[in-house]
Amino acid sequence: MSETDFIARLRGIATDPAARGLFDDTAVLGDLVLTHDMIVEGVHFLPDERPQDVAWKLVAVNLSDLAAKGAVPLGVLLGYSLAGDDEWDAAFVAGLDTVLRRYGVPLLGGDTVGIPGGAPRSFGLTAIGRAPPAGAPSRSGVRPGDQIWVTGTIGNAGVGLAMRLGEIDANETCLAAYCRPQPQLTFGQALVPHVHAMMDVSDGLLIDAERMAAASGCEIILMVETVPLSAALLAVRPDVLDTRLAAATAGDDYQLLFAADPDAADSIREIAAGLNIAATPIGHAGVGEGITLIHKAQRIALPQRLGFTH
């Protein structure tokens, strides 16, 4: 059973409104938003990843879900598997301390279990946040006519992974994007009054945009040439269509994808300027379904793989 099929089954029993039909990044319970993400060795991180980076990623991917709801993090619960390597565990705790301090988030509790020898490490984190007073934006609020935006740049982490695997020469920006993703908490909080829908880009820009379109019951049209790529990425990849499609399907970006009325553009640019992080309009929403890619004024076929499904 695929992840998608399994979630479809769970949807049959997750009928409480707080579950948002399991279509959203987080559950919303009163004024709290709640998310739980797991990462598994060999699936979400490399067996030779630095434990400090694993801790960082575990926290960052969950805080990124809170960022997409404009939430203020209140705390986390850790689910940890002990695999019998004291040095690794000690380095993980040090890394956990670093990332929790960086974002000012307390560790509240959790559980620790021993796992059988040779089993892959598996970690879970639950992050709890305070929803914004105006309510947490969902994925499903896109309206035809909205502009579609993304924060920061896309594709750095995908190139960073290739660097980690020794496939290409490393540069610090892309490696850091892969090893130490930055959840856009401040950006997300500031955007709340201006967006109709928001989510984070975790599995790939295209697959996540498709999910947003499906949840909203509309079409999302993306202009491939406007997808923002970093100078660090373009230093190692040519600026051609393949590079752009690779970036838009690589995942692990942890940027925010959001939809807003075109009238909100000035406010959004002002917020971005204040934070010194780009916000780039990359398309718009229309009546229809799914995503459509435009490249140089021509509609192009979707790549076979839109992103990761774990």
Residues that bind a second copy (CB under 8 A): 1-3, 6-7, 9-10, 12-16, 18-20, 22, 24, 26-27, 29, 32, 34-40, 42-44, 74-75, 77-82, 84, 86, 89-90, 93, 96-97, 100, 106-116, 119-120, 122, 124, 126, 128, 310
Q: Minimum distance from CB of 26 to a second copy (Å)?
A: 7
Q: Which amino acid is at 10?
A: L
Cβ nearer to a second copy, comparing 38 with 265: 38
User: Is residue 106 within 8 Å of 63, Cβ to Cβ?
Assistant: no
Cβ nearer to a second copy, comparing 1 with 165: 1
DSSP state of 141: T
Residue 275's CB is within 10 A of a number of other CB atoms, namely: 14
Cβ nearer to a second copy, comparing 47 with 166: 47
- Tell me the backbone φ, ψ of residue 149, rounded to 5 degrees: -125, 160
Q: Minimum distance from CB of 10 to a second copy (Å)?
A: 6
Cβ nearer to a second copy, comparing 44 with 284: 44
Q: Minimum distance from CB of 136 to a second copy (Å)?
A: 12
CA distances from 137 to 57, 206, 221 (A): 24, 20, 21
Query: For residue 283, which of 228, 220, 230, 206 has the smallest C-alpha distance?
Result: 220
User: Is residue 45 within 8 Å of 54, Cβ to Cβ?
Assistant: yes
Q: Minimum distance from CB of 72 to a second copy (Å)?
A: 13
Q: Minimum distance from CB of 33 to a second copy (Å)?
A: 10
- HSE of 284 in the Cβ direction (CA atoms, 13 Å)? 9
Cβ nearer to a second copy, comparing 113 with 240: 113
